[in-house]
Amino acid sequence: MGAPASSATPAPAAAPVSVAEPSAESSIAPAPATPAPSAHVEATEHADDRVGEPARSARREATRQRILDAAREVFAERGVIGGSVEDICERAGFTRGAFYSNFNDKDDVLDALVVREHTRLLAHLDVSFVEVDREIEAADSLVAVLSGIVDRILRSIPIDRQLSLIQTELEIFAIRRPDQARRFVETNNRFRERIGALIDEAMRRYGRELLVDPSIITDSIVAIAERSVRRALLAGEGADPDAMASAVLPGILLALSRPAEG
């Protein structure tokens, strides 16, 4: 038989404790309170207390990546300024407690997201240029070489509507809030410097030198490549995202280079 039921009146449930926004300096817009998390989410947040260090680190990193994925979606849809911590928590399926155990505030998430996205872009870029030596040796004309270099650059830029949106939002945010965009400017500059160095090296291997600073060519190439992608996104399904860039960029490289002296 089961134990007799207690006659005591159950104590009322404690009212949820509200967590204050981090600071007024952060560009977090107010948003409606998020629904209470599921038991699974709560268990996920506190599972670190019951596992060893390797599993704890892996679980924490998985939580951080899930929050960053959610922030990427929110910022792409609502903008960096328009998206809030509450929006990110709701999208990720975590409580604010889980958020603040991994990030200080929205600006901290933004910095981490910028580093992650540019690290991925650099990895794409390096992989894309792995075969450039072989292509230069096999090319039968200067136009073929330049087209090959352009193709490698375009391959390093994923065709991703969300990436295009988030990149645009980050640039707008950097212009509007330069004091809060230091990390974006630094990582974006490193990405462009890497492109410039790869272009300069590839051209030299074919016996050509650039007539202008590599950074100028890089900015031109990135601007045209990004516009080429956006043009295709606007045109709709089936449009070639590289069409404009492939038609224009080899001519730019040709016009802004010459046979190397000596």
CATH number of domain containing 60: 1.10.10.60
Range of the domain at 49: 39-103
Give the pLDDT band of residue 53 (cuts 50, 70, 90).
low
Q: Are residues 79 and 119 in the same domain?
A: no
> Is residue 192's pLDDT more than 50?
yes
133-143 average pLDDT score: 78
Higher pLDDT, 245 or 46: 245
Q: Give the domain-ending residue among 47, 76, 103.
A: 103
Q: Are residues 99 and 185 in the same domain?
A: no
* 14 within domain boundaries: no
Q: Are residues 85 and 161 in the same domain?
A: no
Q: Are residues 164 and 201 in the same domain?
A: yes
- Most confident range (mean pLDDT) of 89-103, 149-163, 213-227 is 89-103
> Is residue 124's pLDDT more than 60?
yes
| Rounded (10°) angle between helices 53-78 and 161-176 | 80
Which residues are 258's β-sheet partners? 209
Q: Are residues 77 and 182 in the same domain?
A: no
* Model pLDDT, residue 262: 65
Give the pLDDT band of residue 134 (cuts 50, 70, 90).
confident
* Model pLDDT, residue 52: 61
* Model pLDDT, residue 41: 46
Q: Note the pTM of the prediction, 2 decimals.
A: 0.69
Give the pLDDT band of residue 26 (cuts 50, 70, 90).
very low
Give the integer Cα–Cα distance in Å for 262 and 253.
Answer: 20
pLDDT tens readout for residues 162-177: 888 888 898 999 999 8
> Is residue 36's pLDDT more than 80?
no
HEC-encoded secondary structure of the chain: CCCCCCCCCCCCCCCCCCCCCCCCCCCCCCCCCCCCCCHHHHHHHHHHHHCCHHHHHHHHHHHHHHHHHHHHHHHHHHCCCCCCHHHHHHHHCCCHHHHHCCCCCHHHHHHHHHHHHHHHHHHHHHHHCCCHHHHHHHCCCHHHHHHHHHHHHHHCCCCCHHHHHHHHHHHHHHHHCHHHCHHHHHHHHHHHHHHHHHHHHHHHHCCEEECCCHHHHHHHHHHHHHHHHHHHHHHCCCCCCCHHHHHHHHHHHHHCEEECCC
pLDDT tens readout for residues 83-106: 999 999 999 999 999 999 999 999
Q: Are residues 93 and 177 in the same domain?
A: no
98's tokens? 């889980």
> Where does residue 231 rank: exposed (0-12), middle (13-18), buried (19+ CB within 10 A)?
middle
* Model pLDDT, residue 46: 47
> Is residue 108's pLDDT more than 90?
yes
Give the pLDDT band of residue 180 (cuts 50, 70, 90).
confident
Give the integer Cα–Cα distance in Å for 9 and 2.
Answer: 19
Phi and psi, residue 234, nearest 5°: -70, -35
> Is residue 75's pLDDT more than 80?
yes
* Model pLDDT, residue 146: 87
Q: Are residues 69 and 192 in the same domain?
A: no
> Is residue 181's pLDDT more than 60?
yes
> Is residue 178's pLDDT more than 80?
yes
- Total structural domains within the chain: 2
Instruction: Provide the mean pLDDT of the chain.
Output: 80
* 55 within domain boundaries: yes
